[in-house]
Amino acid sequence: MTAHRTTGHGRSAPVNGKGLLLTAAALCTVILTVTGILVAVLPEPEQEGHLLPGLARAQGIELGVAVAIDPLAHDRRYRGIVEDHYTSVTAENGMKWEHVQPERGEYDWDGPDAIVDFATENDLNVRGHTMLWHNQKPDWLAHGDWDAESLSAVVHDHVTTVMERYRGRISAWDVINEPLEDGGPQMRRNLWYEVLGPDYIAQTLYSAHAADPDAKLYINEFGIESAGPKADALYDLVSDLVERGVPVHGIGFQSHFVHGNVSADLADQMRRYTDLGLEVAVTELDVRIPEPVTDEDLREQRGEYRDVLTACVEVEGCVNVTVWGVTDAHSWIPEWFPGTDAALPFDTAYRPKPALSGMVDALSRRGRHRPDKA
């Protein structure tokens, strides 16, 4: 059988079977070559996360992660995830009072130094976490016999000592952590409130500002991501501080969400504070899923991570989104919320989950904008 090809003058000329086979083989070679080039250029899903640091910086946002000291020191894969996917780090526990000053006047700098040195070596920013919190206090502090004068001196000394040590190396601090009750708008009756009164917040912020005038000082809280009494109570507290000229620079939205209940008005809540001239950050992001965790849950979680980061992109003045943990293998969620799991963008085998792609999607959006106001 003879095939035909068209000559340059439009006439048909015979082509034998051997020539046709050679032509087909050449075409296949071209197709395979082009396909190979495309595969090499287009990122695999596992590689997509490596785009995150560049995308975050292009948006003017720090993309952070909470790190634990032991795996950071001894687990190469754990360190690799941090180095390849994030632009800032927060100490998950290592800078809390019980670890930094376990005995009165005796400071242990090994953990905090390791985190700050790691960040410096890898060109990462550091968020400090946290100064005053009702949990994780050393026994000598939690059970001491304090009056206002003695406790005020202890708080001032701790804040000053820690912040001066890392002055210029830690860009922002969660100075006041969870000042409101868990489920309501009342001030938390913690040690600081009971002994020093409600103005302990302003006093501590003044001490922190004196220790490091360049650090951004935050009040960090959960349950304020949606409109409600607690969100309003924090806004009123912060508005008063701003009006009085107290050195507060930012509000941290902890954002420990449950799958299916991610706030739809997070951006609106953020804008309340940016309208006061403050910056905002999502400081402790995770989205825990009730067990058993299905593939459909993980696909939906992808959209939830995307939506949280999109809220930050859309709000001028949102400067950081920090994921609260590197992998599900080191997550606090199963211990504190039994029956839930899979809250982070990397699974227990350190494999990326769909949530990571959701973060890429959000940071790939067109640049920031503020909605027109009526």
Under 8 Å between Cβ of 333 and 354: no
DSSP 8-state symbol, 357: H
Under 8 Å between Cβ of 323 and 285: yes
Contact residues for 95 (Cβ-Cβ < 8 A; gap 6+): 111, 112, 115, 128, 129, 130, 162
> Looking up tokens 């910056």, which residue turns up?
279
Report the candidate in 307, 291, 269 with the shortest Cα–Cα distance to residue 343: 291
Check 178, 221, 279, 304 and give the catalytic one. Answer: 178
Under 8 Å between Cβ of 265 and 307: no
Peptide bond into 6 cis (omega under 30): no
DSSP 8-state symbol, 106: B
> Looking up tokens 């596992």, which residue turns up?
46
Q: Which two tokens stand for residue 156?
A: 């001032």
C-alpha pair distances (Å), 26 with each of 19, 29, 95:
11, 5, 64
List alpha helices for the chain, DSSP H: 17-41, 45-48, 52-59, 69-74, 76-85, 97-100, 110-121, 139-142, 148-165, 191-196, 200-211, 229-244, 266-274, 295-314, 333-336, 354-363
C-alpha pair distances (Å), 211 with each of 24, 112, 133:
75, 17, 19
Q: Is 121 among the catalytic positions?
A: no
Q: Is 296 among the catalytic positions?
A: no
- Residue 327 CA to residue 286 CA, distance in Å, equals 11
Check 62, 92, 279, 284 and give the catalytic one. Answer: 284
Residues that are catalytic: 178, 284
